[in-house]
Structure 1
Amino acid sequence: MDENVLEEFRKQRASRLGSEILKNPKGPVYPLMKEFEDVVSKDPPPQLPPDRGIRHEIDLVPGTKYCVTRQWPLPREQREVIYAFFTAKAKAGMVRESKSPHSSPTFCVRKPNGKWRLVHAYNKLNSVTVPAQTPIPRKDVLLNNMAGCTLYSALDLVDGYYQILRRESDIPLTAVSTPSRMLWEWLVMPQGLSNAPPTFNRLVAQLFRPLRAFAQTYFDDLFVHSRAENGQTAMEVHLGYLRRVFEVMRAKKLYANIDKCVFGAEEIKVLGCFVSCAGVRADPEKVKAIAAWPTPRSQKDLRKWLGLANYLHKYSAGYAGLAKPLSNLLKKDTDWRWERQHQEAFDSIKASLQRAPILALPDESKPFSVVCGASDYAIGCALLQSDEDGHERVISFQSRQLKAAERNYPVHDKKLLAMKYALVKFRVQLLGSRPFVVFTHHASLRTATNSPHLSQRMARWLSFVAEYNIRVEYNRASSMCLPMHCRADPTMSWFILVGSQRIFTIGYAYRIEMMRALPLWCDSSLQVKTPR
């Protein structure tokens, strides 16, 4: 991706930060931020938080004795940071001197911005703590709740852990030592405890549950989204939603970091991707990192790169097929030999992610369609849905490599396996009374349910398919924009894009239209060529 495009994109994002909005009194969000400047600030007031009904509790495994780890020596700079930190927290009433039989050491780690973050080594305490289970928000569900919205805000709750009180009997357990030979114990929830994230997640979920129609929470991140409705503009609705969120934060004494908050933007970053009215797209910084990665020199290098690329697999049609030669290099007892096929696969994945489409968010009120396909070495599928203009948009790509036994299946079984895989991956959207279409380029799948000669495997799969209100349609000579492998050279894979104009439109033409409408979102130098 062009560096100039990225730089322009960064500037556009920075203009919607809370600290920048306060510099523009004429902006629509400015009056609201001034009204709630006690809630949206850089530092929360130094005081003990109120009791909100949820306290952090530590339950130990029966028979646990004292958890003690000696404090180790630290450099002078870290000692000064630790001393200043505890002096401030003691003044705020968040810590007090302790005589606890438990003790954990304190040290510092460097933040990306160059400052120090205080850390407590609660390893022994965490190893004997009974795990607390709480539902963690799913990223896909959170994103789907934003479908159809046009304005977004992202709030970062500051010092969230320090805003939760502790159960009184557990306070001695979190005693920490410092290089100045002091022993402190926390009256609020410190960072480093294994059950701290579930406790904080439970708190924000409870406080903002009445606002869940327009405010999504993910630990210390809060996302507000809106659209025009009831005769009001999207901005008017959005300001009303922000006001309700700020009122809850003021009443419960929660605070947001103004330097990390984004307000009233047409696009925000959500858990590693970017969301807008057009859909979901990959983080361009991550795509740039993948594209700039040098050729791996060892299995360790390759595993690192694949770990980053795998995170964006849903943006790439047929990712599993493309990655197969590289995955083979990571198998046990495989000698490291980087050959042409591996370099081609490496470059193909880079190119695929660089031209990744903007994925649509699903609309539950509209019908879906599915395309699926299989090759000798992989299966893949895509979930589609028409937008307001009648364009078919891709919601998600999914693919995986075939297991050793599955590679021996007949062609018919592989195609049915691909269809079953699609139904499993997109079960949440497809299961229900609304009918949907599955497009395949294997004509016999249309009559599979009526065949009197079914293997046990096919009968088992078709019984699973029977749950769905499904109609199978045949697209002659079309691979549905899914990955296929060249049978003459099974280690080399690419996209075969043939067949109907409808599929071509889904795969390419609409993407070009999105690039024109949103020039900052894609690399303007990218050339999309007609498929061979």
Structure 2
Amino acid sequence: MESQVEELKQLVTDGADALSAKSKKERFDEQSWDSLKSSPLYEVLREYKDVLTHDIPAELPQDKGVQHEIDLLPGTKYCVTREWPLPREQVKAIDDSLKVVRSVRDFAPSYFDDGFIHSRAVNGKSDVEMHKEHLRKLFALMRKHKFYANLKKCIFGASEIPVLGCLVGKNGVRPDPGKVRVINEWPTPSNVKELRQFLGIAKYLCKYVSNYAGKIRPLSQLLKKDAAWDWTAECQQAFDAVKQGLTEAPILAVADQDRRFHVV
């Protein structure tokens, strides 16, 4: 576990992009057709096996020749600055892709290049039967528009899935136990850099800690410019309070107005 703490420290130092990439890379157990044979969804998955591939088919766009020609005055240089960070053709392709999946977002919302399909029992149909219907609708769209999913990175028929460092299920959202364990075993900071690293990783799960901003106030004071490093008993208490808050983290869900609930 000490090695995991050191690895997370380095990722926080490298930045949020590195942390997200690491989490995404390791959050899945590799899937295969053999491992899915016992799944009640196997028949549907095999029906659309062409969109669940390890290797995306390589297709070159049609050669259209010269796209345009701009006459320039002798001795002048053409402008190479783009109006958008991506070529306009790629921006349009992304917009078109989002429009395609919009028709199924009621049961298959997407986040960047990730998709999540959720189903529940409706009109006498079981949750598995509804899930099969939803899978067929999404896979049919993918097949029509030549979208592909990497089978190795897919999870099927799960009651809970990892999303952005949390676990999402029918009861709500809870923090990833692995990340909570790493934070709880984080050593006491001995300087500002180590404190920033701790608060950087804790911030990913701060929504589960009631009054998080108030609890870390003594720690935030140490990050102020020209502040002297003085790890007091109050700082230690705040440090422990964050860990304790994550240990007792509630399951977050949309409020049911007909029942009692607490706001975190």
Indicate conservation of the 8 Å contact 1:290/1:350, yes or no: yes
Match of 1:55 in 2: none
Match of 1:325 in 2: 218
Residues 1:31 and 2:31 are matched in the alignment: no
Match of 2:146 in 1: 253
In structure 2, the CA distance between the partners of 1:326 and 1:199, relative to structure 1 (3 Å rule), is farther
Indicate conservation of the 8 Å contact 2:219/2:238, yes or no: yes
Choose 247-256 or 308-317, whichever is displaced more.
308-317
Q: What amino acid is aligned across from residue 296 of structure 1 in structure 2? A: P
SS in structure 2 opposite 1:359? coil
In structure 2, the CA distance between the partners of 1:279 and 1:49, relative to structure 1 (3 Å rule), is farther
Displacement after TM superposition at 1:213 (Å)? 1.3
> 1:346-425 alignment to 2 at 5 Å?
346-362=239-255, 366-367=256-257, 386=259, 392-394=260-262, 396-397=263-264
Q: Identity of paired residues, percent? A: 43
Match of 2:203 in 1: 310
* 1:29-53 residue CA offsets vs partner (Å, 9 max, x unmatched): 1111111111001111122369xxx
Structure 2: gaps of 5 or more residues: 2-26, 63-75
In structure 2, the CA distance between the partners of 1:199 and 1:348, relative to structure 1 (3 Å rule), is farther
Larger relative CO (CA 8 A, sep 6+): 1 or 2?
2
Aligned equivalent of 2:227, options 334, 355, 363: 334
How many residues in Structure 1 have an aligned counterpart in Structure 2?
A: 226
> 1:2-17 alignment to 2 at 5 Å?
none
Indicate conservation of the 8 Å contact 1:322/1:345, yes or no: yes
SS in structure 1 opposite 2:109? strand
Displacement after TM superposition at 1:305 (Å)? 1.2
Displacement after TM superposition at 1:247 (Å)? 0.6
* 1:238-261 residue CA offsets vs partner (Å, 9 max, x unmatched): 010001100111111111011111
Distance 2:61 2:182 in 1: 41
Match of 1:232 in 2: 125
Higher share in helix: 2
Greater than 4 Å deviation, 4+ residue runs: 63-67, 198-201
Displacement after TM superposition at 1:329 (Å)? 0.5
Match of 1:291 in 2: 184
Displacement after TM superposition at 1:276 (Å)? 0.7
Structure 1: gaps of 5 or more residues: 2-12, 51-62, 68-127, 134-164, 168-188, 190-197, 368-384, 387-391, 398-532
* 1:272-317 residue CA offsets vs partner (Å, 9 max, x unmatched): 2111111110122221221122221221221121122122111011
Q: What amino acid is aligned across from residue 42 of structure 1 in structure 2? A: H
Q: TM-score, normalised by structure 1?
A: 0.39
> 1:100-249 alignment to 2 at 5 Å?
128-131=81-84, 167=89, 201-249=94-142
In structure 2, the CA distance between the partners of 1:353 and 1:64, relative to structure 1 (3 Å rule), is farther
Larger Rg over CA atoms: 1
Indicate conservation of the 8 Å contact 1:224/1:241, yes or no: yes
Choose 337-346 or 327-336, whichever is displaced more.
337-346
Indicate conservation of the 8 Å contact 2:166/2:173, yes or no: yes
Q: What amino acid is aligned across from residue 192 of structure 2 in structure 1? A: Q
Q: What amino acid is aligned across from residue 168 of structure 2 in structure 1? A: V
In structure 2, the CA distance between the partners of 1:199 and 1:358, relative to structure 1 (3 Å rule), is farther
Indicate conservation of the 8 Å contact 1:359/1:393, yes or no: no
Aligned equivalent of 1:48, options 34, 41, 60: 60
Indicate conservation of the 8 Å contact 2:28/2:154, yes or no: no
Displacement after TM superposition at 1:206 (Å)? 0.6
Distance 2:154 2:249 in 1: 27
Indicate conservation of the 8 Å contact 2:189/2:195, yes or no: yes
Distance 1:250 1:303 in 2: 46
Q: What amino acid is aligned across from residue 277 of structure 1 in structure 2? A: K
Q: TM-score, normalised by structure 2?
A: 0.76
Q: What amino acid is aligned across from residue 252 of structure 2 in structure 1? A: L
Higher share in strand: 1
